Structure 1
Amino acid sequence: MKAFVTTVEAGSMSSAAAQLKLTPAMVGQHIAALEARLGTRILNRTTRRQSLTDFGKNYFEQCKDILERVAITEMEAEAQSSEAQGVLNITAPVTFATTMLMPALKRYRQLSPLVKLQLMLTDQNLDIVEEGIDIAFRIGPIPDSRIIQRILMPYKMVVCAAPEYLAKHGTPIHPTNLKEHEVISFTKTADTPLKFYNDENIVEHKAQSMITVNNGYALLSAAKSGLGIIIQPEILLKKDLESGTLLRVLSDWHLGERQLSMIYYRYKNMTPKVRSFINFVIKEFRQ
């Protein structure tokens, strides 16, 4: 499986062979053995190019998941015999870090007291290899084969406003009604059209915001003051929605499924500090 996955990601058997310290012929034998076991071809290959078969595409994703689970299990076993220590560089989106990650770090510190944590909170997707980051948290897909992605939990967005605002301006009952309202947008996504879904329809809407803000807590403050409607993560809004300080609108619609993930580079020799944090995060946040 490792030979197969590496061949697909590297683009050729010769490149995979160099990474795995095998001969190209041996890599080919491993893939041929897989196909013989499965009773079907998984990789179309010629002297010039290779491509996955329809079954091979699905099998490739399954193999990646299996190999990842094996790696995590091996990390857990190795972690029993070595103590985590040193500096761990982490980056995370501001809202997730402030509402969920920071409160959880007290428990991690109790487990790994010798690890020094350096956190960079930003909503920019930094290149973790170039920036020397050990662990990053991301929202949405990760289009990089160098990176291992561990999906943790859904990241739901909610449309809401203060009772004061809704009493004065009315409550939108359809996504198209938002064009009649003051929508305060998050700067990074202000120009990105939103897709609203319900059981039958998909409606695309692009907010025409007179105010954009680059911080979730500032957006929250603006909404609570009655300034307008915001669309923010449920984890940020939960307490105010429960208390009634903010009211959810368009509750029959949702903004698609996005996932919060932990990502890290495919280390050849993963250090105990990285292993310890990966294990902690999976146990703490994975649903």
Structure 2
Amino acid sequence: MDRLTSMEVFVRTVEAGSLTAAGISLGLSSQMVGKHLRFLEERTGARLLHRTTRRQSLTEIGSAYYERCKLVLAEAEAADAIAQNLRATPRGKLRINAPLSFGAHSLTPALTRYMQRFPEVSVELTLSDRVVDLTEEGYDAVIRISPLKDSGLIARALKPYQLIACASPAYLAQRGTPKVPADLASHECLGFAYWAAPPLFDWEFTGPSGIERVSVRSQFLVNNGQALRQAALSGFGITLQAEDMLREDLASGRLVQVLPNYGAPTRPIHIVFMPDRRPTPKLRSFVDFVVAEFG
């Protein structure tokens, strides 16, 4: 039998004055109440109650045991209250992982708003384009920009990661402006070097006749979107990067979109976390926030 439950039954029996009254208040039969009391007496090796058909009284050991049981039950209730409070109010540290470019440019500004909304939550964000293991590396949630494999994790889909092709006015003045995707074959196309996969030398665009794929050449490969952006700003070539990261450059004219009549590719993006029937408030609030910001 559960010792804590038996202690509760014992305390209630003492306070109610009889096994029957204790059973009624607890929703138990008097026989079950008696079993709990016998369990405690066998466990302690001592009689706790003197019981007759007309009255009951505590033994000397029972009196001391009763006072300790009340303290134990009070501490148990306090522990439950603390746990419930922690589950109700987002607090504690969140360990998050995200891809470099998305994490630095898009997620970080959003995280500052999240922490302002939930000041008792602290965030430890690591940026990496490799696929991390949530369990082994101790992350609460990760952002992934790629098709997901069946891993048993929970994933919430976000708005697809929209890419856009652009170059500096100086580059286009020197090398000309591509009119159709096939023209990219004669241009310097800045390539993204993935951590655990070969670089993509085929760029895809969607036009009037459907998907058009072109093989591009890249003299410069780098595994960081901001570095590719800087290379494009310096006039070295055409970059295919996230629209969010390039928006200010496009608005100011530092970069110019190429092939504006063609749809640039998108990448699926998800927030992924471990399955838990009762996620903590900090994780639940963070997932809901990310979905609202980027969903």
**TM-score, normalised with respect to structure 2:** 0.66
Mapping 1:1-287, distance limit 5 Å: 82-188=88-194, 190-286=199-295
**C-alpha distance in 2, partners of 1:127/1:195?**
30
| Corresponding residue pairs, total | 209
Asked if 2 retains the 8 angstrom alpha-carbon contact of 1:190 and 1:209, the reply is: no
In structure 1, the gaps of 5 or more residues are 1-77
- In 2, are the aligned partners of 1:190 and 1:207 still within 8 Å (CA)? no
Within 1, Cα distance between the matches of 2:85 and 2:189? 49
Report the Cα distance in structure 1 between the residues aligned to 2:173 and 2:224, rounded to whole angstroms: 26
Query: Aligned pair in 2 of structure 1 residues 154, 276: CA closer, same or farther (>3 Å)?
Result: same
Identical aligned pairs, as a percentage? Answer: 40
Computed over aligned residues only, the root mean square deviation of the Cα atoms, in angstroms, reads 2.0
Deviations 1:125-170 (Å, cap 9, x if unpaired)? Answer: 2222332211111123211241222112121111110010101110
Q: How much does 1:219 deviate?
A: 0.9
Change (3 A) 1:98 1:169: same
Contiguous gaps of at least 5 residues in structure 2: 1-83
> Could you tell me how far 1:245 is from its partner in structure 2?
0.7
Tell me which structure has the larger Cα radius of gyration: 2
**Aligned residue identity for 1:274:** L
The range that moved more, 187-196 or 229-238, is 187-196
Does the 8 Å contact 2:225/2:241 carry over to 1? Answer: yes
CA contact (8 A) 2:87 2:280 kept: no
Matched with 1:40 is none
- The alignment partner of 2:249 has SS state of helix
Whole-Å separation in 2 of the counterparts to 1:127 and 1:263? 11
Change (3 A) 1:120 1:283: same
Corresponding residue of 2:11: none
Q: Provide the C-alpha distance between the structure 2 equivalents of 1:230 and 1:110, rounded to a whole number of angstroms.
A: 35
Q: Which amino acid aligns with 1:104?
A: A
User: Which consecutive aligned stretches of 4+ in structure 1 deviate over 4 angstroms post-superposition?
Assistant: 78-81
Question: In 2, distance between residues paired with 1:258 and 1:132?
Answer: 26
Change in CA separation of 1:255 and 1:191 when aligned onto 2, cut-off 3 Å: same
